[in-house]
Amino acid sequence: MGAGSRPQKAGKAVLILEDGTFFIGHGFGSVGKVSGEVVFSTSMVGYPESLTDPSYHGQILTLTYPLVGNYGVPSYEDKFLGVPIHFESIGIKVRGLVIQELCMEPSHWASKRSLDEWLRDEGIPGIWGIDTRRLTKRLREHGVMLGILEVYGEGEEPDLDRLFREVKDVPDPNETDLVKDVTVKEPIHYETSGERLVVLIDCGVKGGILRNLLRRKVDVVRVPYDFSCDEILEYKPDGVLVSNGPGDPKRCTSTIEAVRGIIEEGIPTMGICLGTQILALALGGDTYKLKYGHRSQNQPAYDLESGRCYITTQNHGYAVEPNSLDGTGLKVWFINANDKTVEGLKYEGGRSFALQWHPEASPGPYDTEFLFDEFLDRLGVKP
């Protein structure tokens, strides 16, 4: 595209799955072609947060809620101690977006541009006007699949024969080191003049996790996912938090090794989402891939100790194998009330624990934010 030229206007669009299922609709955002793992989320709100959630890196996201874009897109410039307020990171992390109905004229006091404009500005293709219910049912029955999303320029026609051939060779993003793409490259320090220091191992951390720590007056050092245990210990942390992130946790070999050392040092550790799986792997447990994952704001996490059930925000495609935990020092703390999968772990003595969901929500219910306070209690900090 030459200097000063305008982006090509989107025309038709096609989404095709590896089993040959295809959908023809209207394109929006950027003209172009992407491939990835096609997943769905049943969240009703929060597309700015979802699209910037690094855990979606490598994926084409389908939103099942029928109307998307109605409140527009806010500004990246609104920040709290350097962390964006309205987003989970800077920049869209999904490879493509699939929705049923697109709102082109949003209405919200904080909106700076439309969803269509945002995707176009960041080079992300989208498709709307398809039967997302049919697509979601297909993914539930078969499991998540690889696919191609292609948006054509105005007046161009889809080449289905070519797409049928290409979709058979789509590379699986989970076989690559996705975390490497979304972690920080160098340590970042967040100063609050707090009494305690937490090292945050960034596997693709959501901004909401950082905001929750900083609001509680904790100094944070955010380090790359491949930092060694010795490099982390140089900061003399009072605690360590292992963040969420994309892809297969078994790819994070250096993170797993570092967390094993941190636990052996007796440092209180909190895992969130991918961090839960890494904690389990570090102590000798195992993980497996779910059929279609948990991606929504209404997942029920049942506390086996108290008998209480919390409604939680989740975004993960892998889970901990409970039968692998014997002899690890880990016990199952929470389970999913729907499918009985592991939702939380507690390490012997209770100083370290991990949650498969997002206690910071963003968006979703904030009922379990108190778990950040429980983590700080283990550091000797009273909220």
Let me know if residue 5 belongs to a domain. Answer: no
Residues 82 and 208 in one domain: no
Residues 211 and 143 in one domain: no
**Domain end among 170, 193, 219:** 170
Residues 259 and 189 in one domain: yes
List, for residues 299-334, the tens digit of each pLDDT value: 999 999 999 999 999 999 999 999 999 999 999 999
Largest CA distance in the chain: 65
Residues 166 and 184 in one domain: no
Residues 361 and 213 in one domain: yes
- Total tally of structural domains belonging to the chain: 2
Give the distance from CA 213 to its chain's centroid. Answer: 18
Residues 134 and 183 in one domain: no
Q: In CATH, what number is assigned to the domain containing residue 322? A: 3.40.50.880
**Domain end among 170, 197, 221:** 170
Residues 53 and 113 in one domain: yes
8 A C-beta contact, residue 259 and residue 222: no
**Per-residue pLDDT tens digits of the chain, which is 383 residues long:** 444 456 788 999 999 999 999 999 999 999 999 999 999 999 999 999 999 999 999 999 999 999 999 999 999 999 999 999 999 999 999 999 999 999 999 999 999 999 999 999 999 999 999 999 999 999 999 999 999 999 999 999 999 999 999 999 999 999 999 999 999 999 999 999 999 999 999 999 999 999 999 999 999 999 999 999 999 999 999 999 999 999 999 999 999 999 999 999 999 999 999 999 999 999 999 999 999 999 999 999 999 999 999 999 999 999 999 999 999 999 999 999 999 999 999 999 889 999 999 999 988 999 999 999 999 999 976 54
Supply the pLDDT for residue 1: 42
Let me know if residue 234 belongs to a domain. Answer: yes
**Domain end among 146, 170, 194:** 170
Q: In CATH, what number is assigned to the domain containing residue 40? A: 3.50.30.20
Residues classed as catalytic: 273, 358, 360
- Give the span between the Cα atoms of 130 and 98, in whole angstroms: 8
Which domain, by its residues, includes 72? 10-170
Let me know if residue 4 belongs to a domain. Answer: no
Output the CA–CA distances (angstroms, integers) from residue 128 to 72, 106, 109, 257, 259, in the order listed. 16, 16, 25, 43, 42
Supply the pLDDT for residue 382: 55
Residues 189 and 138 in one domain: no
Output the CA–CA distances (angstroms, integers) from residue 326 to 86, 285, 293, 332, in the order listed. 41, 8, 24, 11
Say which residue the tokens 């506390």 belong to: 303
Residues 229 and 314 in one domain: yes
Residues 295 and 341 in one domain: yes
CA dihedral 164, 171, 289, 362 (to 10 degrees): -100
- Give the span between the Cα atoms of 212 and 373, in whole angstroms: 10
Q: Decide: residue 290, CB within 10 A, 0-12 exposed, 13-18 middle, 19+ buried.
A: middle
List, for residues 101-111, the tens digit of each pLDDT value: 999 999 999 99
Residues 52 and 114 in one domain: yes
